[in-house]
Amino acid sequence: MDGEHVRLRKLERADLPLLHRWYNDADVMAWARFSPDHMRSLEALEKEYAQELSGEEDERATFVIEDRASGTPIGSCVMRTWDRKHVNTTVGILLEKDRWGQGYGTEAMVLLLRIAFDHQGWHRADLWTLAENERAIRSFEKAGFRLVGVEREATYSDGRYKDVALMEQLKAEWDARTRTP
């Protein structure tokens, strides 16, 4: 799916070394997972993504974010479907550090939401991020998410407990933002 500056495409086996690099970058993962257990071997990633790459995974869809101008992969985003009964999906995103603060993440999230709401028919999308990650919260708000709460001291990293912000968006809110009269 193409946006103005980024393209989302399904994860391919050849992308796993990129995921491996991103997942082992402490700065990137501090915001994406905020957990000290971010480091993974390539073999572990291959095992983790085997079902998805073979088309047998139905609880996660991973997309590579490409810079449209160069075709270079610059990050990834994911939809996890924990709750099919209530048609809820949890989304997430990570970007290479040199792309932070330039609008790529916001545009990629909008494309991911287009897939979730317009193509797959989800009723609700949610995400979580560190409450101190103001740049991400602003980006998610630009994509239509709203802050619904903060879980106090819900995660531990860098030697301290940290608050986690929960954000959500309903399909009706998405439709109101994206539909022209």
* Domain total in the chain: 1
Taking each helix axis as running N to C, give the angle between helix 104-113 and helix 134-142, from 0 to 180 degrees, rounded to the nearest 10. Answer: 50
Model pLDDT, residue 35: 56
Model pLDDT, residue 118: 94
Q: pLDDT for 74-89, tens place per residue?
A: 999 999 986 666 689 9
Give a yes or no: residue 27 inside a domain. Answer: yes
Give a yes or no: residue 162 inside a domain. Answer: yes
Q: pLDDT for 91-149, tens place per residue?
A: 999 999 999 999 999 999 999 999 999 999 899 999 999 999 999 999 999 999 999 99
Give a yes or no: residue 11 inside a domain. Answer: yes
Burial of 82 (0-12, 13-18, 19+ CB in 10 A): exposed
Give a yes or no: residue 1 inside a domain. Answer: no
Give a yes or no: residue 56 inside a domain. Answer: yes
Report residue 71 as tokens: 């075709």
Owning domain of residue 114:
6-178
Is the entire prediction scored with pTM above 0.75? yes
| CATH code, domain carrying 106 | 3.40.630.30
* DSSP three-state, residue 54: coil
Give a yes or no: residue 74 inside a domain. Answer: yes
